[in-house]
Chain A
Amino acid sequence: MRATAVERTQSTNPTLISIVAWMLPGAGHLWQGRVQKGVTFVVTLPVMFAFGLWLDGRLFPFEPSQPLVALAAFASLGNGIPFVIAKLLGFGQGVVTAASYEYGNTFLIVAGLLNMLVVLDAYDIALGRK
């Protein structure tokens, strides 16, 4: 299993794997034969993102005039396609008065940051470091 993954890795562009891993959380690991880890990320990160939306969290816009908001937007962008789908469907408007608003924001932001770590891990695997 691991040998197959290494062979597949050596013939694949690490940058391409990183892009795919960003677009769909866990896809980079699945592509490289790390099925158990890939399935874990495919399930966990989108579910965490969905919980963030359900908790009335906000997908922050990119506002360079407000650095913290821009950072939150950048972190949320780490969710990849789920982020794009949620934006297109109009989710993630955020309900400031909801008791769970800040929790929702935290779930959305941290899900994106965790996926960035997953992307880096997939990149390391592609380079043969792991």
Chain B
Amino acid sequence: MTSHLGLLVLFAVFVSIVFAALMRDEPREQLRFGARLLAGFVGAALVLSWLMYPLPL
């Protein structure tokens, strides 16, 4: 798998799972917090990538 987006999402999933388990005790809270983290990571990456899109390499 060499899709940038796929690897980005996979990385965000791993980090979100670990942070959710570290910072919340109840499974339901972990799920909610992890989902918010994942959405934040992926959303921020997409926004930043589009902001950088016009910049020359």
Q: Using a CB–CB distance below 8 Å, which chain A residues touch chain B?
A: 36-37, 40-41, 44-45, 47-48, 51, 55, 99-100, 103, 106-107, 110-111, 114, 117-118, 121
Contacts and interface: CB of A to CB of B under 8 A. Distances in A.
Interface string B4-17: 00010011001101
A102 B51 CA distance: 22
Contact of A110 (B1, B11, B17, B22): B11
Contacts of B18: 40-41, 44-45, 114, 117-118
Contact of B22 (A51, A107, A121): A121
Interface of B: 1-2, 7, 10-11, 14-15, 17-18, 21-22, 27
A65 to B, nearest CB: 30
Given A37-B22, A111-B14, A114-B14, 15 more contacts: A36-B27, A37-B21, A40-B21, A41-B18, A48-B14, A51-B10, A51-B14, A100-B2, A107-B11, A110-B11, A110-B15, A117-B18, A117-B22, A118-B18, A121-B22
Contact of B21 (A41, A55, A103, A106): A41
Nearest to A117: B22
A75 B2 CA distance: 24
A102 B11 CA distance: 12
Contacts of B27: 36
Given A40-B17, A44-B14, A48-B14, A103 B7 contact: yes
Contacts of B2: 99-100
